[in-house]
Structure 1
Amino acid sequence: MTDTPRQDHADHPLRVRDFYLGRQPVLDRNQALFGYELLFRSTPLGQANIGQGGAAGAPATGTTPGLNATAAVIAHAAQLGLARAIGDAHCFLNVDTDVLGSDIYAFLPRERTVLELAASVMPTDAVLARLAELAGHGFRFALDGIGSASAGDSERLQRLLPLARFVKLDVRNSSQPALTALVARLHGMHQTVVADKVETRDDYQACLDLGVDYFQGYYFARPSVLGGRKLSPSQLAVLELMNLVTSDVDNAGIERAVKRDITVALNLLRLVNTPAVGARQRIDSVSQALLVLGRRQLQRWLQIMLYAEPGTRGHNQTPLLMLATTRGRMMELLAQRLRPGQRHLSEIAFTAGIMSLMDVLFGIPMADIVEQIPVSEEIRNALLRRSGFFGELLKLAECIEQPHPQDEGALPALRGLAIAGDDMVELEMAAFQWSDSVVRYAI
């Protein structure tokens, strides 16, 4: 294996400026993060014009045109700092025969990279030899999209299964009895089973009961209104502090309120000392935190604390915390890029982003949340109606998170905001890295 990409892939006709990243979490049975599947999608971003209602360029397909284009895109993304997109997690990447034959792999963290073999990958002698070579360098493989209809004893599966560490099951297109038999069979062959397209909590519970090892999808981020659910004392304390911070209470009053709950105080100090804050010296007291951060920044860390409640480490708050901090930071960076010099707008964008998942966190409707937590009319419109500037940013962030953004309106949102693909990827990676830094300290 060489250390540089082949020239034919470096010169691939795909314009690598015209893509953005999708990142979908893969969680273990405790709902803690195991990895991300990275999706490289093409988009006519560079052709868009803000403020003009017409279409900007030809519509994109939602994924890069042909998996062989993935080689060029991965190489380009890796040069931007692919590790920023995954942190310490594993990275799942879709590959076909052309990508398998490329030399993009020098760019990848091989000990944490899982190559998903597309359905088009046939187990020819040359392909099997290449898989053995890559396995020798530390890469692992997954068979993608296996369902009951494709789970027969085909020659392809018989030859590829011994080389695969993971098998990803399409749970949306398989019956429960078929999945039960398939999971049992795969476990009998010592395979690690990943349930793909897990989009509801019912999907998750059904797969959990089957004994599935990992789960991919955004089931943890779907609102589920639970009757009679009460907020924890810690969450109530943080909400009280958020109200004080936005009121006329002086800093001494806020400091007294923080110190009344030692757990809140300690968690706050841990968070404000993360590298994400960028403080030049360690912050050792609540009063110092108030002086160094100011009220707007203190409010930000209190919002994050709601998702990082003590005693829930490794459980459902963890992926939600990652998603909320990534979404908030992404919207903040987008606002900075689109409205330079207007810092207050980027701060509002962050708040709208991180609050957009509080209905999931608390299990109560968003309309009730904006009545209980004082917010501006701009944030209210964004959260309830996805309208206004911040509503557009929120729609874009939500669409990019989806596995099939062309069905969710991502491309119109991207065209409307007119950010070049290269710029978008840079903002995404910065948001991923910032979120990873926060979560390391918060859980």
Structure 2
Amino acid sequence: MGITNDTGVSLQAGGQSPLAQGHPQILHPARQPLVDADGLLHGFELIAREPSRVGETALDDEGERKPHAEADAAAAQTLAMLGASGVRAALGAHRGYLNVNRALLLSDAFARISPDRFFLELPPDIEADTELVARLVSLHAKRHRFVLDHVTQPTATFAKLLPYAYAIKVEVDRTDPELLAKLSGALKSAGKILIALGVESQETFERAKAAHFDLFQGYFFARGHKQATRRASAPRQALLNLLRLLTADPTVTQLEAELKLNPVLVMHLMRLANSGEASIGRKVETLRDAITATGTNRIARWTQLLLYADGRKVRLEDDPLVQMAATRARFMEMSVARLAKADRKVVDGAFLTGVFSLVDAVFGGSLEETLEALTLSSHIRAAILHRTGTLGTLLDAIEAFERADWAALDRTSAALAPLSSSELAELATAAAAWASSADQSEEHAGLDHFED
């Protein structure tokens, strides 16, 4: 009887996790967000880095190639990736979209991947012969669901696999507009979920929405655009004022006076002070006690993340912009702490750099103007705008990981010794796991979203 470990990989009773099976290299995958038409997180695609292949051809005692060697290797690599520390936690409560190939699909070990955690993406060049189709039918009966990936036009392979597909990923910007409309109509009539791939701008998002797509993969929500100014409402201005005060090392009396001007912030601070680690062992009933119990450092971090809140009362882990900002901030502080003996000021500066690297998406103006208004330290502004210093290089590293640009990650790691690119990827995964669990974490208890 099978059990499922916390990676979402099913293990046979008495069996070992892929980590215990001697896989030579654990490679942490990048995660790229999929959102729905309301801009809320629906899932993440896990994009794996191809491992180095040394002596990959397995031979039997007679010197012949082992018939299942390729499938076994593909399965071992994928299971090791899914078993790597923090990978499942980085998905939070969301499904993962997992790229698979023919060798992996035909592997016996493939059945150990939980159908409840992952959708399986089929590449457009996969060989759709009788053997593969039979395998898809068998896996579908076990509740696995398939996604046709990188579609730009119907092909013979597309037609063969369409009956077994739960969803279709279409490259909207590479598909003829007239064909896009026809594809959308036909696929929606067939009951398929439509996913727009490569949505990097508000314009592409709106075009895909008009074509009745259901989900959207890309980073349009993190780009500064006119629609983003809806986030810069009155509560966010109050948060900005509070942040400016916090940078000046305020007294409790000064903080109390500023917070009293903002009843919504007082409400959230009282919740924060009465939860988790901030609790002082009794119910906090006054604002002054709440400030003392929480501490200015935690208040500052709480305020920085609330700045990105959508304004609708949704969970942190369902807000893609909060997720991205929190992941960057956590990655920055963990990485800088590994690079040198960093004191609290340096670590806080790294966290701040990660948080405000996306601030133009909140207010819609230029990044330079917005950073100037925040009165950030000059080295933090320079790191964000010009990628100078260690903080700027770390920002380049997390952006490369977000894009699954492994060559760029390698280049940045060369300037971040002793951190290797694999260690940077591991830190990014740990940061994503931290961000995904923010709603349940004691450290973030009270970080509720608020209504404008």
TM-score range, shorter chain: 0.7 to 0.9
Q: Is 1:130 equivalent to 2:131 in the alignment?
A: no
Q: Is 1:176 equivalent to 2:167 in the alignment?
A: no
What is the one-letter code of the residue matched to 2:45? Answer: E
Name the SS for the 1:134 alignment partner: helix
- Change over 3 Å in CA distance of 1:281–1:162 after alignment to 2: farther
Within-5 A mapping of 1:310-389: 310-311=311-312, 313=314, 318-389=319-390
Q: 318-327 or 288-297, which moves further after superposition?
A: 288-297
**Given that residues 151 and 170 in structure 2 are in contact (C-alpha distance below 8 angstroms), is that contact kept between their aligned partners in structure 1?**
yes
- Change over 3 Å in CA distance of 1:228–1:102 after alignment to 2: closer
- Change over 3 Å in CA distance of 1:229–1:27 after alignment to 2: closer
Distance in 2 (alpha carbons) for counterparts of 1:21 and 1:29? 26
Shift of 1:90: 1.1
Distance in 1 (alpha carbons) for counterparts of 2:222 and 2:365? 13
Q: 72-81 or 162-171, which moves further after superposition?
A: 72-81
1:148-190 Cα offsets, whole Å, 9 max, x none, are: 2xx14x2x33331111101100112111111011111111111
Shift of 1:300: 1.1
Name the SS for the 2:432 alignment partner: helix
Q: Is 1:38 equivalent to 2:37 in the alignment?
A: no
**Given that residues 20 and 424 in structure 1 are in contact (C-alpha distance below 8 angstroms), is that contact kept between their aligned partners in structure 2?**
no
Give the gaps of 5 or more residues in structure 2.
Answer: 3-9, 53-69, 441-446
Q: 384-393 or 335-344, which moves further after superposition?
A: 335-344
Aligned to 1:49: none
Within-5 A mapping of 1:136-285: 136-148=141-153, 151-152=154-155, 154=156, 156-224=157-225, 231-270=232-271, 284=284
**Given that residues 332 and 346 in structure 1 are in contact (C-alpha distance below 8 angstroms), is that contact kept between their aligned partners in structure 2?**
yes
- Change over 3 Å in CA distance of 1:243–1:176 after alignment to 2: same
Greater relative contact order (Cα < 8 A, sep 6+):
1
Aligned to 1:85: 90
- The equivalent position to 2:121 in structure 1, one of 116, 119, 130, is 116
Q: Is 1:26 equivalent to 2:34 in the alignment?
A: yes
Within-5 A mapping of 1:93-112: 93-105=98-110, 108-112=113-117
Shift of 1:282: 8.3
Aligned to 1:442: 448
1:346-373 Cα offsets, whole Å, 9 max, x none, are: 2111100000100111111122122221
Distance in 2 (alpha carbons) for counterparts of 1:272 and 1:427? 29
1:191-215 Cα offsets, whole Å, 9 max, x none, are: 1110101111110000000000110
1:50-90 Cα offsets, whole Å, 9 max, x none, are: xxxxxxxxxxxxxxxx9986533332233324321201111
Q: 356-365 or 279-288, which moves further after superposition?
A: 279-288
Q: 343-352 or 116-125, which moves further after superposition?
A: 116-125
Distance in 1 (alpha carbons) for counterparts of 2:175 and 2:291? 54
Shift of 1:263: 1.4
Shift of 1:124: 2.8
What is the one-letter code of the residue matched to 2:79? Answer: A
Within-5 A mapping of 1:294-305: 294-305=295-306
**Given that residues 36 and 215 in structure 2 are in contact (C-alpha distance below 8 angstroms), is that contact kept between their aligned partners in structure 1?**
yes
Shift of 1:133: 2.9
TM-score of the superposed pair, with normalisation by structure 2: 0.81
Identity of aligned residues (%): 29
Distance in 2 (alpha carbons) for counterparts of 1:142 and 1:179? 18
What is the one-letter code of the residue matched to 1:423? Answer: E
What is the one-letter code of the residue matched to 1:214? Answer: L
Aligned to 1:71: 75
1:377-406 Cα offsets, whole Å, 9 max, x none, are: 220111121101111111111111114454
- The equivalent position to 1:16 in structure 2, one of 14, 25, 42, is 25
Q: RMSD in angstroms over aligned alpha carbons? A: 3.3
**Given that residues 322 and 439 in structure 1 are in contact (C-alpha distance below 8 angstroms), is that contact kept between their aligned partners in structure 2?**
no
What is the one-letter code of the residue matched to 2:413? Answer: L
Q: 373-382 or 30-39, which moves further after superposition?
A: 373-382
TM-score of the superposed pair, with normalisation by structure 1: 0.83
Distance in 2 (alpha carbons) for counterparts of 1:245 and 1:380? 17
**Given that residues 409 and 421 in structure 2 are in contact (C-alpha distance below 8 angstroms), is that contact kept between their aligned partners in structure 1?**
no
1:102-146 Cα offsets, whole Å, 9 max, x none, are: 355466442131000122322333322322332233221101111
What is the one-letter code of the residue matched to 1:416? Answer: A
What is the one-letter code of the residue matched to 1:90? Answer: R
- Change over 3 Å in CA distance of 1:417–1:120 after alignment to 2: same
Q: 259-268 or 180-189, which moves further after superposition?
A: 259-268
Q: 381-390 or 411-420, which moves further after superposition?
A: 411-420
**Given that residues 91 and 112 in structure 1 are in contact (C-alpha distance below 8 angstroms), is that contact kept between their aligned partners in structure 2?**
yes
Distance in 2 (alpha carbons) for counterparts of 1:223 and 1:68? 45
- Change over 3 Å in CA distance of 1:316–1:94 after alignment to 2: closer
Distance in 1 (alpha carbons) for counterparts of 2:11 and 2:125? 26
Q: What is the number of equivalent residue pairs in this alignment?
A: 413
What is the one-letter code of the residue matched to 2:133? Answer: L
Aligned to 1:290: 291
Shift of 1:252: 2.3
Distance in 2 (alpha carbons) for counterparts of 1:271 and 1:212? 39
**Given that residues 93 and 116 in structure 1 are in contact (C-alpha distance below 8 angstroms), is that contact kept between their aligned partners in structure 2?**
yes
